[in-house]
Structure 1
Amino acid sequence: MAVREIGTDKYQLDVSRGVGNRTRMVFYGSKAEAEKAYTYLKRQCDQEDGRQKKSYNNIGDLVNAHLEYEKLHKAHKTWEEKDRILRGPIMSMFRKMHFDFVYTSTIEAYKRKRVNDIGKKHRAINLELIYFSGFWKWAYQNGYCQTMPIKMSKLPYKRKPPKVLTKSECMAIFHNAGPHRQAMFLCLYHAGLRANEVMTLKRYNVDFTGCSITVIGKGDKTRTVPMTQTLSEAMKRHFSLMDDLISNPKTKVPWDETLAFPSLRTGKQLTDIRRPLWNAIEKAGILKKVTPHILRHSFATHMLEADADLRTIQELLGHEDIATTQVYTHVAINKKRTAVDLLE
């Protein structure tokens, strides 16, 4: 049979292309949609056979090439997450399908399957759909399919307001860190950098004349963040001490002199900055669980509390969507509500 039902709203499309040559794909949707997809698939296969085009690739045939592309254009941690998701849950359903036959009903079937698999972890499923849509866009741009990605509605998810520190807690951390770490932590709090942006920051991207830092963020997007006087002085002090270390003939560390914050132990790029932060937190007597990203959250929240413009904060943080920045308004309004409640 050309269209064979193999499960609930699940069909196998089978196009014969001569002796020993056939194209098979899995399709999720109604019987009518499956038959429509089969007609389209057969027409495409006939065109390919006549014009000797590239083979009609299943989604599973493209994942390696896409991930190789992503590896060159994404941060390593982002690439690892994409690799895990695309090879895991996405391939478990879409491996034998083709992008041209993915409909809204197919995406809805995927969401139902994932909710059954992992429960109400809607944020995780929404991220899977984002990565799948990016994969589809890449396939379209490279001629592997004829349809652009369809709009995929997200599962309802209410993001928890981020945890933040008070200004006094932030200052206590800086006062209990050495000059190298102090400059590093101030990049998180006074400039709103991500941890990975701090670890990969280059010295030549710190401009003391213009008092600003050029940041290479997610997706290699560049943004310019002004330095406060406190951050500028801390960076000058840090660079001066680094120059002394690098020029010391007794130092046998092979320094990467392009990095703003090389590892003081290896001279190479840092892979984690949590441990030195935890050491400063312990010395400061702060009992909260603190991560480097909480300093970035605190940067955004404290600026909102000071009535800074939301769009400006979005640009400083490097958020592509202002909805991501708006999560900080919940934190700021809660503090204002607490202050107003004092009138009761």
Structure 2
Amino acid sequence: MSTARDAAGAFAVPDEVARAFRLEQFHDFLALERGAADTTQEAYARDVARFAAFARTAGVATPGDATPRALREFVFHLKDLGLSPASIRRTVSAVRTYYRFLLTEGYVQRDPSERLETPKRWRTLPEVLTVAEVERLLAAPSLDDTLVFRDRAMLELAYGAGLRVSEWIGLRVQDVLFEDQLLRVFGKGSKERLVPIGRSAIGAAAVYLRELRPTLEKGKGKGVLFLNARGEPLSRMGAWTILRKHVERAGIAKAVSPHTLRHSFATHLLEGGADLRAVQEMLGHADIATTQIYTHVDREYLRSVHRQYHPRS
């Protein structure tokens, strides 16, 4: 099957798609009628070619068949690809220009891009670790390390409860409720919440409290759970340093911060079928909209839930 490339040569589409979506005519329009700069022509042609390829895979045969919903799905697709908000804004602008061209030339009867929104400020989220990567990270502390029991407990609780770094280093000994398998966490504004923790986290915390913390405590611990080698409460920088050491040891190439563990915690729960409101409560978010932005749920999973449970799906 032959393909046609846009001017930048960076995005190929089948000739049939290029013809159906009038990509060559659009490029001529950019060059001749708008007098666009070469870089703009290339970018817009590439963006519209990407749209045409996406539309075909979504069952849209021609640009006239595209609906506003299909265009919104395209924007979500761009976000899922990891494009920056600036690139997505440019693509939306290209698609709008494309449909104005089609409408003016009489190739379409309506403009589905008329109300297409641009992402004004999408948050940049940290990378998510896979479950396998989390397992490698949690297994990274070695028995050869003097502070192995502390490090294991720290990583297990940080991931197991989805903690912010300030919550992580602010935990007190009395905040681990062993019998109830809960962690008492004080979040933003000193708001208290209770987060369930699993057997692995409970076990790691118990071993640390029994085997290591008493030897670290030199009267300067102030009741804080995690102490440094001098017996003082662990600092934010200390937590980062410990995490970085074990990320490297686990052979994880991604940029991992304490927030990455929190994000992974929420994402893994949602991917496993957890209720969004339950995750909101565990994360300590006052508004569920924050949870929806923060936890990038697989859109296909959401669609499958809707198909399965909505009476008119």
How high is the TM-score relative to the length of structure 2?
A: 0.53
**What is the CA-CA distance between 1:246 and the residue it aligns to?**
4.6
Q: How large is the RMSD of aligned CA atoms in angstroms?
A: 2.4
- Check 1:333–1:161 CA distance in 2 against 1; reply closer, same or farther (3 A cut): farther
d(CA) in 2 for partners of 1:160, 1:271: 22
Q: Does 1:285 align with 2:251?
A: yes
**What is the CA-CA distance between 1:198 and the residue it aligns to?**
1.1
**Which residue does 1:276 correspond to in 2?**
242
**Which residue does 2:227 correspond to in 1?**
262
**Which residue does 1:167 correspond to in 2?**
131
Unaligned runs of 5+ residues in structure 1 are: 1-119, 122-154, 248-252, 338-344
**Which residue does 1:109 correspond to in 2?**
none
d(CA) in 1 for partners of 2:298, 2:149: 31
d(CA) in 1 for partners of 2:206, 2:281: 25
d(CA) in 1 for partners of 2:213, 2:264: 31
**What is the CA-CA distance between 1:267 and the residue it aligns to?**
2.0
Query: Contact 1:211 / 1:227 at 8 angstroms: preserved in 2?
Result: yes
d(CA) in 2 for partners of 1:196, 1:306: 27
**Which residue does 2:170 correspond to in 1?**
200
**What is the CA-CA distance between 1:205 and the residue it aligns to?**
1.2
User: Which of 216, 232, 241 is matched with 2:186 structurally?
Assistant: 216
SS at match of 2:253: coil
Q: 1:260 corresponds to which letter in structure 2? A: L
d(CA) in 1 for partners of 2:164, 2:122: 23
**Which residue does 1:179 correspond to in 2?**
149
Query: Contact 1:161 / 1:331 at 8 angstroms: preserved in 2?
Result: no
Q: Does 1:299 align with 2:265?
A: yes
Larger mean Cα displacement after TM superposition, 177-186 or 317-326: 177-186
**What is the CA-CA distance between 1:331 and the residue it aligns to?**
4.2
**Which residue does 1:233 correspond to in 2?**
203
d(CA) in 2 for partners of 1:246, 1:329: 37
SS at match of 2:296: helix
Query: Contact 2:127 / 2:254 at 8 angstroms: preserved in 1?
Result: no
Unaligned runs of 5+ residues in structure 2 are: 1-84, 87-118, 142-147, 304-313
SS at match of 1:190: helix
SS at match of 2:195: strand
SS at match of 1:326: helix
d(CA) in 2 for partners of 1:277, 1:335: 31
User: Which of 317, 324, 344 is matched with 2:290 structurally?
Assistant: 324
**What is the CA-CA distance between 1:160 and the residue it aligns to?**
3.4
How high is the TM-score relative to the length of structure 1?
A: 0.48
d(CA) in 1 for partners of 2:253, 2:296: 24
| Cα deviations by residue, 1:10-40 (Å, 9 ceiling, x for unpaired) | xxxxxxxxxxxxxxxxxxxxxxxxxxxxxxx
Identical-pair percentage:
37
| Cα deviations by residue, 1:295-337 (Å, 9 ceiling, x for unpaired) | 0000000000001000000000001111110024534337899
**What is the CA-CA distance between 1:172 and the residue it aligns to?**
0.7
**What is the CA-CA distance between 1:255 and the residue it aligns to?**
3.3
Query: Contact 1:162 / 1:328 at 8 angstroms: preserved in 2?
Result: no
**What is the CA-CA distance between 1:264 and the residue it aligns to?**
2.2
Query: Contact 1:199 / 1:261 at 8 angstroms: preserved in 2?
Result: yes
- Check 1:281–1:204 CA distance in 2 against 1; reply closer, same or farther (3 A cut): same
d(CA) in 1 for partners of 2:296, 2:216: 45
d(CA) in 1 for partners of 2:280, 2:248: 31
Query: Contact 1:215 / 1:225 at 8 angstroms: preserved in 2?
Result: yes
SS at match of 2:232: coil
Query: Contact 1:186 / 1:231 at 8 angstroms: preserved in 2?
Result: yes
d(CA) in 2 for partners of 1:281, 1:162: 15
Runs of 4+ with >4 A deviation: 334-337
Q: 2:198 corresponds to which letter in structure 1? A: T
